[in-house]
Structure 1
Amino acid sequence: MRVVDDGVDLRGMESNDSGRLRLEHDGDHWCLVGEGADQLGLVDEYLSHLGDRNYSPKTLRAYGFDLVVFGRWLLGEGLDLEDVTTPVLLRFLAACRAAWLPGRPGPNVVDLRGRRLDGYAATTINRRLVAVSGLFAFRAMRDPTLPNPVPKGREAHRVTPGGRTGLLAHLVRRPRPRSALRLREPTRLPRPLNVEEATRLLGSLRTWRDRAIAGLMLYCGLRSCEVLALDIADVDIGRGWLRVWGKGARERAVPLDGDVAQAIQAYLFLERPESDSTRVFLVSKGPHRGQPLTAAGLRTIFRYHRGLTGVTAGHPHALRHSFGTALAEAGVDLAVMQTLLGHAHVDTTARYIHLAPKRVKEEFDAARARIRRQV
């Protein structure tokens, strides 16, 4: 049985109190233990419900931590779930915005836009609201007579120009109403690596395993979790294709770059330790040799090479962003980009269109030339 505690409350203070409300995983499902867990039994049922609906383990863990924070706040306020109303949720969100994180600059330090640098991001607070909203929606599903304290706002924009309509309209995800309590989130564009940074980072990799992993993200656009989930049967080196399992257990076929295929082949023949595991990438050294490489192990590898090369932006996902940016700059069709990157919605893929400075500069120069000819 594994006990997990995020160690941070709404005031940012750490606590080693073993009786404190915390999240626990017994190998099958997540549940709350500690002080006040009996009052929050609905949370355990909700997390089990999400598990039955095939939600990913990472989503369950994130929602569990968010509900632990919500439960601790309710206990501190002397409230039960039955006492939660819309004003109570507003107070909870205000407490989240006022919270500070240890190890961050003080509240008097702000960024160029005037935002504090010691608190939670708007995305984190909105995710907590999503977890709480799902909890009360689950309660309303079980007992329709109980009110849902989370107000609904306008429907989220999911229909894009050129989307499926008519007989194919059922293939489009229906718009979902978003809560009016959501915070505005800043729109951030993916930050790719430039050619010099990517060359330095890949040049520091010494093993065939690490080169193959980086190549799959940089030249094939795979997510780090997709790379770690690759089985040997998913790699068809002869035909040059990969079978990739993405988010939501969605399967897609991705072309395999020739150089990356050679790196994978060299790793399988020269470096991969003997193991009963079907995963492609395994731990090479230490007591866990032969076991599947974990996300923590992958982060350790990239953290070491970031320090070695000085490429501070050399995170695994930055390589995937570089792949998407290269596709946009090459003028690849948006639908093809969506298929290669495994995005569920074309809106996510469209972010990379704004990251094609070469194409923007060419269009700008052409427009300026036309204007000058007309003047």
Structure 2
Amino acid sequence: MTIEKFVRYIQYEKRFSPHTIQAYQQDLEQFAAYLRREYELEELAAVQAIHVRSWTVSMMEDEYHTNSVRRKLSTLKAFFNYLQKFHALKRNPMQKVVVPKTGKRLPSTLVAAEFNHLLDRLTFSDDYPGQRDRMILEMLYGTGIRRAELIGLRLQDIDWSSSLLRVFGKRNKERMIPLSAHLIGLLQHYLQVREREFDGGVPDRLFLTNQGKVLYPKLVYNTVKRYLSMITSSEKRGPHVLRHSFATHLSENGADLNAIKELLGHSNLAATQIYTHNSIEQLKKIYQQAHPKGED
């Protein structure tokens, strides 16, 4: 009943993403370290609800964000459910643990004109790094894919005849995303530059580092943050802002919620409905500015 066995279970049986597996393992190791330090408790199967509550209070006192605490408790819930199912754990301590509530926060987005202004104003160099950086921005905003999905794209995932992009999302779920004529043109030019830069002997991934290696998450994050810093002072300037903007702008322009759900690769509609809230906030703002009684 070790953390290692659970990690192997979610990796090979549940087929969680590497990022999720790493987060689960870190959460459990952090909890195990807390138990050893505070209670001299070595066996996770002996954990009681009081131990989990104590850890929760400790994290709140250390000013962990509520969302982080909730995620860590979700990890514990999955772990103890696993022990109950496969290792005959008699009492699940999570059944007596109340997860702290958090207010629903709307995702950060860009105004469409801001992003277009950024791309119009900047001159991207015609060498490989310049064209790759532009394509990273264009693809994240133009398709709404996640950072990990962008990194995983391969050359053969582009269906040129149908203008479609094959994306493998969470738990290796496949979906097809339409590519605009604008994106198709940019991709064709980018691939010419890529072929000129790397004459064979490189991975078949669509995007590569300057050295011809597979992209890594930090490079994508830093690239997006660097360019978004030029147009927004928001603290949120990572790749997910472009994904949120993609979905919000579709919603604001009348796209069907189910269609947005499919494009984003969400497993249920509830996760997509947050973008209708953004649209409602925009409608409120327009009403207050335009209606004679809007400011009353």
**TM-score normalised by L of structure 1:** 0.68
Bigger CA drift: 248-257 or 126-135?
126-135
CA–CA distance in structure 2, aligned partners of residues 235 and 295 of structure 1: 21
Let me know the Cα RMSD of the aligned residues: 2.5
* Aligned residue runs from structure 1 range 61-76, under 5 A: 61-76=22-37
Note if 1:50 corresponds to 2:10. Answer: yes
How far the C-alpha of 1:205 sits from its partner, in A, is 6.0
| Identical amino acids, percent of aligned pairs | 27
Which protein has greater RCO, CA pairs closer than 8 Å, 6+ apart?
A: 2
Of structures 1 and 2, the larger Rg is shown by 1
* Secondary structure of 2:59's aligned partner: helix
Q: Contact (CA 8 Å) 1:201, 1:311: kept in 2 or not? A: no
Q: Contact (CA 8 Å) 2:136, 2:220: kept in 1 or not? A: no
How far the C-alpha of 1:278 sits from its partner, in A, is 1.1
Q: Contact (CA 8 Å) 1:204, 1:305: kept in 2 or not? A: no
* Aligned residue runs from structure 1 range 123-272, under 5 A: 123-144=67-88, 146-151=90-95, 180-202=97-119, 203-204=121-122, 206=124, 207-272=130-195
Partner of 1:352: 275
Counterpart AA for 1:222: I
Equivalent of 1:93, from 56, 64, 87?
A: 56
Could you give the per-residue CA deviations for residues 89-137 of structure 1, whole angstroms, max 9, x where no partner exists? 21121111112xxxxxxxxxxxxxxxxxxx1111111121122222222
Q: Contact (CA 8 Å) 2:137, 2:224: kept in 1 or not? A: no
Bigger CA drift: 64-73 or 197-206?
197-206
Q: Contact (CA 8 Å) 2:140, 2:243: kept in 1 or not? A: yes
CA–CA distance in structure 2, aligned partners of residues 331 and 360 of structure 1: 16
How far the C-alpha of 1:303 sits from its partner, in A, is 3.2
Counterparts in 2 of 1:78 and 1:291: CA distance versus 1, 3 Å: same
Q: Contact (CA 8 Å) 1:96, 1:125: kept in 2 or not? A: yes
CA–CA distance in structure 2, aligned partners of residues 353 and 367 of structure 1: 22
How far the C-alpha of 1:361 sits from its partner, in A, is 6.0
How far the C-alpha of 1:148 sits from its partner, in A, is 1.6
* Secondary structure of 1:151's aligned partner: helix
How far the C-alpha of 1:334 sits from its partner, in A, is 1.2
CA–CA distance in structure 1, aligned partners of residues 118 and 239 of structure 2: 11
Counterpart AA for 1:201: L
Counterparts in 2 of 1:48 and 1:324: CA distance versus 1, 3 Å: same
Please list every run of 5 or more consecutive structure 1 residues that lacks an aligned counterpart in the other structure. 1-40, 100-118, 153-179, 370-375
CA–CA distance in structure 1, aligned partners of residues 80 and 213 of structure 2: 40
Counterparts in 2 of 1:358 and 1:182: CA distance versus 1, 3 Å: closer
CA–CA distance in structure 1, aligned partners of residues 112 and 40 of structure 2: 56
Equivalent of 2:249, from 326, 329, 338?
A: 326
Counterparts in 2 of 1:144 and 1:367: CA distance versus 1, 3 Å: farther
Q: Contact (CA 8 Å) 2:80, 2:92: kept in 1 or not? A: yes
Partner of 1:11: none
Note if 1:335 corresponds to 2:263. Answer: no
* Aligned residue runs from structure 1 range 110-129, under 5 A: 119-129=63-73
Counterpart AA for 1:137: N
How far the C-alpha of 1:348 sits from its partner, in A, is 1.3
**TM-score normalised by L of structure 2:** 0.85
How far the C-alpha of 1:301 sits from its partner, in A, is 1.6
Note if 1:311 corresponds to 2:232. Answer: yes
Could you give the per-residue CA deviations for residues 256-294 of structure 1, whole angstroms, max 9, x where no partner exists? 01111111111111234234311111112xxxx111211
Partner of 1:373: none
Aligned residues: 278
Partner of 2:212: 290
Runs ≥4 in structure 1, deviation > 3 angstroms? 357-369
CA–CA distance in structure 1, aligned partners of residues 272 and 167 of structure 2: 18
Please list every run of 5 or more consecutive structure 2 residues that lacks an aligned counterpart in the other structure. 125-129
Counterparts in 2 of 1:205 and 1:232: CA distance versus 1, 3 Å: farther
CA–CA distance in structure 1, aligned partners of residues 187 and 270 of structure 2: 33
